[in-house]
Amino acid sequence: MTVNYKFPEGFWWGSATSATQIEGAAFEDGKGWNIWDYWYSKEPDRFFEGVGPETTSDFYHTYKEDIQRMKDIGHNTFRFSISWSRLIPGGKGDVNEEAVTFYNHVIDELIAQGIEPFVNLFHFDMPLEMQHIGGWESRKVVDAYTEFAKECFAQFGDRVSKWFTFNEPIVPVEGGYLYDFHYPNIVDFKRAAQVAYNTIIAHAKAVEVFRTFSVKDGQIGIILNLTPSYPRSDNPADLRASRIADLFFNRSFLDPSVKGEFPEELVDILSEHGQLPERQEGDLALIKQHTADILGVNYYQPRRVKAKEHLPNPYGPFMMDWFFDIYEMPGRKMNPYRGWEIYEKGVYDIMVNLKENYDNIPSFISENGMGVQNEERFIENGQIQDDYRIDFIREHLKWLHKAIQEGCNAKGYHLWSFMDNWSWMNAYKNRYGFFSVDIETKERTAKKSAEWIKEVSENNGF
């Protein structure tokens, strides 16, 4: 294989996932309930084909074999999350020793196989009891999360040096408090703003605690889904629409976590519409002093916007989309299964933005991937021929390579995901893995992309 695209030495090749989406064992070994266990018990019909989080991909029981498979396909890094409700059932109080044992085994097995563990602390999985007292609307929950973070650093910080406070923190804001696709299914911008604000406080507090531990080569950061906002045209009205979309969806978390401050224009907009969250004294100094060392970037699709066609309904609730409409660009390349545009250059644009406006913070692509339905259509000789996934990864990597050539500080690429996993309300509708998972038998089978990525990792390029 001739290597035309060579990546820097020590580049991170791997994949990412989360506790609720792969572990299963939802009610085993002392794990408490999280909001997904609860919501599924109440409204199973809202989940694709009625599949809930109870067993998912059963990583809890098959981690050893799965980590061997990661090694086999060239992973040198792997990101997973620790389930708060497994480690500290109920969200606060005693630590569940069986959970400590499980995560110790996973970490030790990864290290034994030469795969560096990247650990994320929160991936949409609020313990149910914490949601009952207000979830991220409550400062009590922020304090409980800080204790949970401290416990994780104490238990695992001797072997784990890469830590992340949150994955895609804007998603629980959008899903749980604006657009009704996560529990608690509230539609209220002011409460959403409080959730976002308190999440940033929780991030800063976890960073503050982390820095009191002596974690060898320790770095702590956050993982954000950055979705570049592209205007329909250079018309000032379209440009304003894209700038405001960027403020709401990207800079709302990016600026405080990397620069330590909120964008002024965003604060002005929220203030003008009476939507500012409640703050406490000392908050802004806390955020300023405890910024991220490293940034994970999840990139799936661009956001194309245009100026509003119609004024917002004066009787409707305040929403981000008071300021812009989604623009469906003619001729865009689509993933028809997920309804998402495929725009590989987005990855380059994000990296250049980080370089130019965010001190070129060390970063990596922490998720990128392509969900496809009914992949068994593509089986030949017992293997899913997912050439579409190989093309998807390759084209994104070309743009990432270009960004690195131009001095962007990008350290790695993680696919979402190692194996097909449970995707919240979508359950197993769209499959993302290098390995397919039979949800009845839990059997794993390598797809063609698994062989391809192994070669890429071994050559550190393609």
- Active-site hit among 23, 109, 367, 375: 367
CB 145 within 8 A of CB 153: no
- Other residues' Cβ atoms within 10 Å of the Cβ of residue 393: 22
Identity of residue 375:
E
Strand pairing class (379-380; 383-384): antiparallel
The dihedral built from the CA positions of residue 4, 5, 9 and 13, taken in this order, carries a sign that is: negative
Identity of residue 186:
I
Helix (H, G, I), strand (E, B) or coil at 119: strand
Strand pairing class (334-335; 363-367): unpaired
Ordered DSSP codes for 191-258: HHHHHHHHHHHHHHHHHHHHTTS--TT-EEEEEEE---EEESSSSHHHHHHHHHHHIIIIIHHHIIII
CA 104 vs. chain centroid, Å, equals 23
Q: Which residue has the tokens 């923190």?
A: 169
Identity of residue 42:
K
Q: Cα separation of 308 and 288, whole Å? A: 35
Let me know the angle formed at the C-alpha of 40 by 35 and 42, rounded to the nearest 5 degrees. Answer: 95
User: Does the annotation count 367 as an active-site position?
Assistant: yes
- Classify residue 112 by burial, with Cβ atoms within 10 Å: 0-12, 13-18, 19+: exposed
Ordered DSSP codes for 355-418: HHHSTT--EEEEE----EE-GGGGEETTEE--HHHHHHHHHHHHHHHHHHHTT--EEEEEES-S
Helix (H, G, I), strand (E, B) or coil at 21: helix
What lies within 8 Å, CB to CB, of 101 at 6+ separation is none
- Classify residue 349 by burial, with Cβ atoms within 10 Å: 0-12, 13-18, 19+: middle
The catalytic site residues sit at: 367
